[in-house]
Structure 1
């Protein structure tokens, strides 16, 4: 185990907080999976779900280890070509996406070989963040021309978001917000950002109006779900209570300060997404406000390490990659918690590293691997500098020792010459 830990490169703080979140996830996932076990098999045996989650987490850490060994600059070169692959996958998903409850679920695609459901939008988000970081680092030394940035940056970003929007508005909004944050930090001109935001609002309005004109088209049938969630959240539609939010609030109220205890949640039997979208409500119910704030603190500490890693990165691309991949992870966690306490309408965002689900965990682990790869590079640079300093110090000591030896030899020669040339010494010798 000690040898394995020594082989882990990069920021040890990030490794530690990620490991703590992953280890903690086993308890709420094991507890919250009971309703899925009853619905799926009628036995209530959650051991299978625990083993499945254990497999996902172990594969996730394997992904982190493998990705952090790859030089992070490599992802800069392949992001442009990976974006084309993302478009192909998203188009296939729109046509052949898995149907859930009769709704347009073109957010999921089935992988027949391994029997897994894959959500391409999460992968698209990772590629977009790296792609935007690549563009900003490339144009930092040159003045940005808006027309050129439309072609090189916003057209690919806009096309990708258009493919995600019809099936997943919350993910589209999250990705767009994080890209805006990234370009702002990357010193993209503020007036151009305003134009892009205005264009996005106009396009979204047009999309909603078209969906109203053609309500029976499958492509637009998620718009009604968006409207329903917003109305439930704002209270303008009191006749239609949001069942999930009500149960989540009951769970949080039942937890109080110390919680009901591990595995003693009651609302896990009623919340449809108790092990994924609403797992934070189960955490608070079982571990109380202390457990809820503890989880929140771990995410904030992870955010702090991301800020430190970004500050230490010696390349602009490294700084932007850490921000672009790290901040959305924490922002998604805060959205998940805010939904559980009804600060935001239902979005369907999972709690990173804690919620069950293979592909969501693995996509998060890819992002973490790239981030740790950036910190690993800085660690290697620091080690090289320390080694260089040690070599320089050793060389200086060797030079000083040689100079001291030479000075001693010269002093001895002068002493012998002085004795032989002194007449008194000659007389004494006689």
Structure 2
């Protein structure tokens, strides 16, 4: 009896713990907790926290830049606004991550249709800033449709390409090309060369993952080279950016200031709030926040941040090695590629390895549209990488379909 009582004590403790979010808890929250990739979720939270610190560091420089005349911007204005977007974005991320795969797919298709219409409406009703017309004024703020369209476009494109698994005769590749071309045309009209590059890269990545033939791959490579040459010759925005980057022609103040700020802090930085070079950056809180991190927290912090982004990419692709559903593989890989490409472009611009493109750093840069769209996109990624822990147990355990 004593042995039985000793063995029963841990069982009672386990039962009490299971009443919270234990494995026996079959509530939506309990199942979500055990099925979600908690490492991915933790990495996202770390990036968001780092982003808040970085925006707080960049906010005084941005406030100083936009203050003038009768306009006075508080030093931490951008930090408090970013914190408000984070408070809205994290619940949105968790809510989307709780969706089963079929519901996440439907949300993405509806979102892609809605924000495509919004993107087409930008030239008609959009607000213009710094010579670009990319935003729609909503009264309480501005909405950038292209930011929200990216994750929904990726999932919708993944669904379209996965249909070929059911019918080999479906013209999914030409149709996906036409849809991507329409979106890129709308983006170039704004103009938004950086987002155009991202959408083209996402389409190419998903085409490769869906089993592109070598001949078609060679044709796409040649078409890409021709497209870049044509953009350089006939698209003034591309001409200006490429000339500034390759031949140091025109105004290179932005990238030069970003590079000078990045290296000003050395390996360990000048300390929080101690940066001075950041006050010369044109968009310290958005496009060039990576340089602000370099000045105040050092190159070591920049390397650590790059490793965080790399860890997310590696984590997802390792998890996809044992995934046998084509749509899930394409959707999760596409969302991860979007995340990685956007981070790579922003970092490359800051270290003067790419021309300026106006690309935000995921979860780090200031911006309501960017934060909300990234939270929803990461929520979709978490939804597609969920795993039922009971599926790897004994075949005698009752299994259920979470999709």
Q: For residue 46 of structure 1, what is the aligned residue in structure 2?
A: 75
| Equivalences, count | 368
Shift of 1:355: 0.5
Matched, 1:149 2:172: yes
Shift of 1:96: 1.9
Matched, 1:92 2:115: no
Counterpart selection for 1:164 from 169, 187, 205: 187
Q: Distance in 1 between matches of 2:253 and 2:104?
A: 43
Q: Please give the TM-score of this superposition, normalised by the length of structure 2.
A: 0.83
Matched, 1:225 2:250: no
Q: 1:201 to 1:159 in 2, by over 3 A?
A: farther
Q: Please give the TM-score of this superposition, normalised by the length of structure 1.
A: 0.78
Segment drifting more, 44-53 vs 364-373 = 44-53
Three-state SS of the structure 1 residue aligned to 2:287 is coil
Matched, 1:117 2:142: yes
**C-alpha contact (below 8 Å) 1:132/1:183 kept by paired residues:** no
**C-alpha contact (below 8 Å) 1:27/1:262 kept by paired residues:** no
Matched, 1:383 2:390: yes
Matched, 1:266 2:276: yes
Segment drifting more, 45-54 vs 76-85 = 76-85
User: What is the alpha-carbon root mean square deviation over aligned residues?
Assistant: 2.6
Shift of 1:20: 0.8
Cα deviation per residue 1:79-129 (whole Å; 9 max; x = unaligned)? Answer: 55544323321121022221113x2x22211123xx221111122222221
Consecutive unaligned residues in structure 2, runs of 5 or more: 1-17, 22-28
What pairs up with 1:14-413 in 2 under 5 angstroms?
14-41=40-67, 45-77=74-106, 79-101=108-130, 103=131, 105-112=132-139, 115-143=140-168, 148-149=171-172, 152-166=175-189, 167-196=191-220, 198-199=222-223, 223-237=235-249, 240-376=250-386, 378=387, 380=388, 382-386=389-393, 389=396
Q: For residue 9 of structure 2, what is the aligned residue in structure 1?
A: none
**C-alpha contact (below 8 Å) 2:64/2:279 kept by paired residues:** no
Q: Distance in 2 between matches of 1:389 and 1:266?
A: 65
Q: Distance in 2 between matches of 1:183 and 1:246?
A: 36
**C-alpha contact (below 8 Å) 2:268/2:299 kept by paired residues:** yes
**C-alpha contact (below 8 Å) 1:184/1:190 kept by paired residues:** no
**C-alpha contact (below 8 Å) 1:96/1:106 kept by paired residues:** no
**C-alpha contact (below 8 Å) 1:10/1:374 kept by paired residues:** no
**C-alpha contact (below 8 Å) 1:35/1:44 kept by paired residues:** no
Q: Distance in 2 between matches of 1:13 and 1:91?
A: 38
Shift of 1:247: 1.2
Three-state SS of the structure 1 residue aligned to 2:128 is coil
Q: Distance in 2 between matches of 1:296 and 1:182?
A: 24
**C-alpha contact (below 8 Å) 2:57/2:273 kept by paired residues:** yes
Shift of 1:18: 0.6
Three-state SS of the structure 2 residue aligned to 1:153 is helix
Shift of 1:40: 4.0
**C-alpha contact (below 8 Å) 2:154/2:334 kept by paired residues:** yes
**C-alpha contact (below 8 Å) 2:59/2:76 kept by paired residues:** no
**C-alpha contact (below 8 Å) 1:144/1:188 kept by paired residues:** no
Larger Rg computed on CA atoms: 1
Q: Distance in 2 between matches of 1:391 and 1:154?
A: 43
Q: 1:259 to 1:208 in 2, by over 3 A?
A: closer
Shift of 1:205: 5.9
Three-state SS of the structure 2 residue aligned to 1:106 is strand
Segment drifting more, 291-300 vs 196-205 = 196-205
Structure with the larger helix share: 1
Three-state SS of the structure 1 residue aligned to 2:129 is coil
Q: 1:84 to 1:177 in 2, by over 3 A?
A: same
Three-state SS of the structure 2 residue aligned to 1:108 is strand
Three-state SS of the structure 2 residue aligned to 1:226 is helix
Shift of 1:391: 7.0
**C-alpha contact (below 8 Å) 2:173/2:207 kept by paired residues:** no
Q: Distance in 2 between matches of 1:234 and 1:314?
A: 44
Q: Distance in 2 between matches of 1:178 and 1:249?
A: 28
Segment drifting more, 86-95 vs 320-329 = 86-95
Cα deviation per residue 1:355-381 (whole Å; 9 max; x = unaligned)? Answer: 0101101111111111111222x2x2x
